[in-house]
Amino acid sequence: MNKCTDDNGFADKITEARIEALVDSYMKDYAGGKDIDKVSTFDHPDRDTIISILEKLQRIVFPGFFKNPSFKVYTIRNNIAMLVEDVIFHLNRQIAIVLQYQPKYSDLCLKERQDAAQDIVFAFMEKIPKIREYIETDVQASFDGDPAAFYKDEIIFSYPGLYAIFVNRVAHELYLLNVPLIPRIMTEYAHSQTGIDINPGATIGKYFFIDHGTGIVVGETTEIGENVKIYQGVTLGALSTRGGRTLNNKKRHPTIKDNVTIYSGASILGGETVIGEGAVIGGNCFITRSIPAGARVNIRSQEMIRHQGEEPKPLSDDDNEENFELKK
């Protein structure tokens, strides 16, 4: 007798019962009071909507480069007007939701927060010409600094560094307006797309060029001047985060003055660390103190020793030491 007699109805009932048991266990777990138990869907920002807002802002900042196939409007004014209305509507709703995280607005109802959000939205939208002014210089810096770039259009369409800078410039303006969550959602989306992690709090001057870009980290209180160029793998970070929340709102990240070049793999750490104007930081340098203007910082060349036919010997403490040279 075949023991595999088909009885889908019985099997379906067993599966349904097991699913119900799982759901029951999950519902009990949700009642545990954990931070991740919040299920108030309409009280949380919508990540997909925020990403969509970013895409529309990209079309406003670069009119004619990034088209919306759903808009069958061919005059620039009408097209931009539709984009602006769309951004204002959705950004207002998202900001109204996140304002609850600010003590100033926490006791207001959603309608009152929407009224407050409208002023913030228009204050942000008025910054678009400033964002475009800075982005124009970033495109120029990328073109001037990269011999592999044949056209500026190539940079706008394809360079991850420029996209990360664009998102930062948008998010930074929202950050300055004290909008919670949304700026970080924007920059972490750019991080996921490009491998470049720039906190929205970072202040960045004109003519900023990121070459290649993968693995770059720029911390919240970093200050970057004009005409600065950084390569892949650079970290502009905090010297220590052991203080945790006690370090909030304190200068933890370095200041980079104008006309500085930082080569790949360099780490510059600490809120009191200042890289002087015109300095050049060599690859893989680890810097925790200020560097004077015009200095050139390199790791002293390490000698590779090959022992033919010998067992490898452990390095001495002297061999492990990283030596730095300052060259004027």
Are 138 and 177 found together in one domain?
A: yes
Cβ neighbors of 248 (< 8 A, separation 6 or more) are none
pTM here is 0.83
- Identify whether residues 187 and 244 lie together within a single domain: no
Domain boundary at 175, 195, 215, which? 195
| Domain final residue pick, 195, 223, 247 | 195
Q: Are residues 228 and 181 in the same domain?
A: no
How many residues are there in the chain?
328
Quick check: is 307 in a domain?
no
Based on the fold, state whether residues 52 and 70 are members of the same structural domain: yes
Given a contact cutoff of 8 angstroms between Cβ atoms, the answer to whether 228 and 260 are in contact is: yes
Domain-ending residue, one of 131, 165, 195 = 195
DSSP annotation of 188: H
Residue 284 sits in the same domain as residue 180: no
Q: Which one-letter DSSP state was computed for residue 284?
A: T
Report the distance separating Cα 117 and Cα 304, nearest Å.
61
Q: At 173, which CATH number?
A: 1.10.3130.10
pLDDT one digit per residue (tens) for the chain, 328 residues: 555 556 667 677 888 888 899 898 988 888 888 877 776 656 789 999 999 999 999 999 998 787 766 656 567 888 889 999 999 999 999 999 999 999 988 888 888 999 999 999 999 999 999 999 999 999 999 999 999 999 999 999 999 999 999 999 999 999 999 999 999 999 999 999 999 999 999 999 999 999 999 999 999 999 999 999 999 999 999 987 666 766 777 899 999 999 999 999 999 999 999 999 999 999 999 999 999 999 999 988 766 666 676 655 554 444 433 444 554 4
Task: Work out how many domains the chain is built from and give that number.
Answer: 2
Domain with 232, as residue range(s), is 202-301+318-328
Say if residue 71 is in the same domain as residue 143: yes
